[in-house]
Amino acid sequence: MEYHKLSAKPCSSYLFFHILFFAFLASFADAAVHFHEFVIEAKPVKRLCRTHSTITVNGQFPGPTLEVRDGDTLVIKAINRGRYNVTLHWHGVRQLRNPWADGPEFVTQCPIRPGQSYTYQFTIQNQEGTLWWHAHSRWLRATVYGALIIYPKLGSPYPFPMPKREIPILLGEWWDRDPMDVLRLALFTGAAPNVSDALTINGQPGDLYRCSSKETAIFPVEAGETILLRIINSAMNQEMFFGVANHKLTVVSVDAAYTKPFATNVIMIAPGQTTDVLLTVDQTPARYYMAAHAYNTANAPFDNTTTTAILEYKSAPCSAKKGQSLKPIFPQLPGFNDTATATAFTSQLRSLSKAKVPLEIDESLFFTVGLGLINCTNPNSPRCQGPNGTRFAASINNVSFVLPRRNSLMQAYYQGQPGIFTTDFPPFPPIQFDYSGNVPRGLWQPVKATKLLKLKYRSKVQIVFQDTNIVTVEDHPMHLHGYQFYVVGSGFGNFDPKNDPAKFNLIDPPERNTIGTPPGGWVAIRFEADNPGIWLLHCHIDSHLPWGLATALLVENGIGKLQTVQPPPLDLPRC
């Protein structure tokens, strides 16, 4: 096993001792503090033949990659020089006792107004792998996002052979209009927002789109080496299949948690998720496309285009390098609705080592998740352009989550301000029905409210997410802020509380921060509520979030300072 970057490979027992000594020192002394300024501002970005005024961080799209080690502290001053309110979220960072740095607008903070700033300060505690950051206000995250790479502590190896090269692969979606306007229009009409005009890899659509091939991302590699692809689905609304022509991918980590390695031709990745894969550069020297396209599970329009980047062997024939004659080889991707392949992929994921899964459960929750329709008194109104003169909505247990406007949930909770939220979120659906079957129309309309679910500190929690067939079945990637959870089981159809739990994997289930419901199926997660604060739980499909596919967990403080939310920073924005 080799060591990461900054330390040497042991070649004698003396050297080995030396390294152990350094590792010992490192664990105490070497945690670094990283200071960054993130200026959020509009910059001209040209895509698909047109120049847009795009909200970026430091003029970069995608935004800057953050590289830190486990144990390091990040201090990021977000300066809003754009025209929209903004907040930033560090997706997957646990933020222990520190919800103030988590970022979702009106949940843990009020937004940073144009001209204002806020400094996010947080420490990475026992996490390593690939995470990312993104805006968490309206649809700004369409262009405001970047990678957050956490290396092991100095002197700690990866649990796999040290790759020669690491490449972040950010999958995204591009609109030919201002994404904020796309959302605004949808929220006005009540219809679904327009689908994106392109999918992207590291911000570039690639060779299959107009005016794009000059900028296609190209990754030069050396024959024989093994590289690590850190794949992040930062797309707004789209699960994706991803593959590299002629190359096997060995999955080693998801959502910054190591997995038992397994080889695959293609991965399925949902918005919010990350997947690290090893790739060995062992094919005929040439150029190979990496490509991604939609995995679409809903009965609804979607972006059916394909984004590409190029894996280029440095030893590939010259004419190929200039792209004159030798076209890159194209990978085979599964069909858009190939749920069998998606399921076969996700069911192979296992934690690398024995997992600390809660075995005795204190809170057993059953959450129906899905879309809904709000009936209109005047179905011909321009505000009721959803199916049959309705407005789209979405809900968990029939509650369509509404963000407060007067204050953030966390600030209201901390200050004891009443009237901002209630804590009566239902632990199971108000009515039992055949969730994945034919749902009677009378059950399609959810109720709008700001209800939170209260949890005792350290309680052991199980949540079963049950997809409904209201409007359509769909893979809803459910993301929990402030936590990593174990995915102990999943299946199609309705969850069977008698027989399904017996089939749970309580030995080595994968640990994640985002997990999709199989379309028309269920998925079960477990975690210990060891992080006090208010934590958003939501579908990471950004058209579903404003429709209300969310709730928040209010995890109470324990006893003493180390089990209590820390005081907020002085510059926390006020509403």
**Positions that interact with ligand C2O (CB under 6 A):** 89, 91, 104, 134, 136, 272, 479, 481, 536, 538, 540
Smallest separation, CB 551 to ligand C2O (Å): 12
Enumerate residues 6+ apart whose C-beta is below 8 A from 250: 261, 262, 263, 264, 277, 278, 279
Distances (CA, A) of 87 to 71, 74, 79, 406, 533: 24, 16, 10, 16, 18
d(CA 197, CA 542): 16
- Cβ-contact 198, 40 below 8 angstroms: no
Q: Which of 425, 551, 549, 533 is nearest to 482 (CA)?
A: 533
C-beta closer to ligand C2O: residue 294 or 545: 545
Nearer to ligand C2O (CB atom), residue 311 or residue 396 = 396
191: nearest Cα among 543, 516, 572, 553? 543
Residue whose CB is less far from ligand C2O, 104 or 206: 104
Shortest Å distance, C-beta 56 to ligand C2O? 18
Report the first-to-last Cα separation within the chain, whole angstroms. 51
For ligand C2O, the closer of residues 371 and 541 by Cβ is 541
Q: How far is the CB of 272 from ligand C2O (least distance, A)?
A: 5
The span from the CA of 238 to the CA of 253, in Å, is: 21
| Contact call for residues 311 and 288 (beta carbons, < 8 A) | yes
Q: Which is nearer to ligand C2O, 154 or 555 (CB)?
A: 555
User: Smallest distance from the beta carbon of 412 to ligand C2O, in angstroms?
Assistant: 19
* Paired tokens of 12: 């004698």
The residue number whose beta carbon is nearest to ligand C2O equals 91
Alpha helix segments (H runs only) across 392-443: 409-415
Nearer to ligand C2O, 358 or 404 (CB): 404
Smallest distance from ligand C2O to CB 492, Å: 26
- DSSP-assigned states of every residue in 169-234: EEEEEE-SS-HHHHHHHHHHH-SPPPPPSEEEETTB--TTSTT-GGG--EEEE-TT-EEEEEEEE-
CB of 521 to ligand C2O, least distance (A): 23
**Least separation in angstroms between CB 133 and ligand C2O:** 9
Q: C-alpha distances in angstroms, 32 versus 5, 96, 97, 404?
A: 16, 18, 20, 37
CA neighbor of 388 nearest in space, from 396, 398, 402, 378: 378
Tokens found for residue 383: 């505000």
Residue 303 makes CB contacts below 8 A (sequence gap 6+) with 173, 195, 196, 197, 198, 199, 238, 294
- In the complex, the smallest distance separating the C-beta of residue 152 from ligand C2O, rounded to whole angstroms, is 23
Nearer to ligand C2O, 129 or 386 (CB): 129
Question: Is 192 or 541 the residue whose CB approaches ligand C2O more closely?
Answer: 541
Q: Please, which residue, 134 or 153, has the CB nearer to ligand C2O?
A: 134
Of 460 and 479, CB closest to ligand C2O: 479
Least separation in angstroms between residue 368's CB and ligand C2O is 20
Closest distance of CB 380 from ligand C2O, Å: 36
